[in-house]
Amino acid sequence: MSDITIFELAAFVIVLAAVPVLYRVVAGPNIFNRIMGVNVLGTKTVVILILVGYIYGRPDIFLDIAIVYALINFTAVLAFLRYVETGRLDK
Amino acid sequence: MVIDIKTVVTAVFLAIGCFLFIVASIGVMRFPDFYTRLHAAGKVDTMGQTFILLGLLFYSGFSLVGIKLVIIMAFIYIINPTATHFLTKAAYVRGLKPWVRGDRFEPYIEVEAAGDGGQPTRPRKPAGRLKR
């Protein structure tokens, strides 16, 4: 117990909190529920990446990875929603 | 292990953030409808990451790491409501009906089963209103 830091505990709790969202992604009734679940999982992934950086003692490089992951997640969600909404990507 | 005030304040902020993340997950799993699930997905999740990153900002102090944490916080503050707005707009344009009191299950339309190259199941709204 004495070896567990608060960052490891917080990362473990967030991983446990990702399980119901994963259920919604797998069993969601339509495509919009799945995209919403993937968006929520992306936010949780960014926070877990930052916490992993603090666990390893090198938060600077993991913060760069987290910034890149947040932007890629946002772009992917917007592109996929544009495809679902209009059926094409070029306008 | 030395318990100092910095660790205690960080632990309190992380606990609040983890609580909000758990609340967001339960809301995404248990709400009856897509539009109500977006409340949990859009707002509570943003507040959870805000509290966790505030705790880490208090832990690391004002340095390059703190500036990067503020940048990520600002990014997610812009990104999450924009994605929620775009999800709502896409679902509304494709004709997903909201849940009303008395419905047992979510009103289900087959978006995937249209199968004719992405044509909406209902006629779209006039393009002047919804066009960005």
Summarised one tens digit per residue, pLDDT across range B37-62 is 898 888 999 999 999 999 999 998 88
Average pLDDT over residues B60-89: 90
Find the CB nearest B38 among A36, A47, A64: A36
Which residues in chain A touch residue B79, judged by CB atoms under 8 angstroms apart? Answer: 70, 73-74
List Cβ neighbours of A28 (8 Å cut-off, separation of 6 or more). Answer: A34, A36, A37
How much of chain B, in percent, has pLDDT values that exceed 70? 75
* R_g of chain A computed on alpha carbons: 16
- Inter-chain residue contact B75 with A67, CB threshold 8 Å: yes
Which H/E stretch holds residue A37? helix A31-56
Q: Which chain B residue's Cα is nearest to A76? A: B83
Which among A47, A63, A87 is the nearest to B49, CB-wise? Answer: A47
pLDDT attached to residue A53 = 92
- Distance in angstroms (rounded) separating the CA atoms of residues B71 and B78: 11
Please tell me the predicted confidence (pLDDT) of residue B74: 92
Residue B1 pLDDT level (bands cut at 50, 70, 90) = low
Beta strands in chain A (DSSP E): none
C-beta atoms of A33 and B37 within 8 A: yes
Q: Is B52 in contact with A47 (Cβ distance < 8 A)?
A: yes
pLDDT of residue B18: 93
**Per-10-residue mean pLDDT, chain A, length 91:** 79 92 87 90 92 90 92 91 81 63
Q: Decide: A18 and B25 in contact? Cβ < 8 Å.
A: yes
User: Is A70 in Cβ contact with B75 (below 8 Å)?
Assistant: yes
Instruction: Compute the distance between CA of residue B62 and CA of residue A57 in angstroms, rounded to an integer.
Output: 17
CA distance B101 to chain A (A): 19
Q: What are the tens digits of pLDDT across the range B80-126?
A: 999 999 999 888 888 777 777 766 655 554 444 444 444 444 444 44
Both structure tokens of B97:
């009906």
Q: How far is CA A16 from the centre of its chain?
A: 13
Three-state secondary structure string covering chain B: CCCCHHHHHHHHHHHHHHHHHHHHHHHHHHCCCHHHHHHHHHHHHHHHHHHHHHHHHHHHCCCHHHHHHHHHHHHHHHHHHHHHHHHHHHHHHCCCCCCCCCCCCCCCCCCHHHCCCCCCCCCCCCHHHHCC
According to the model, what pLDDT value does residue B125 have? Answer: 46
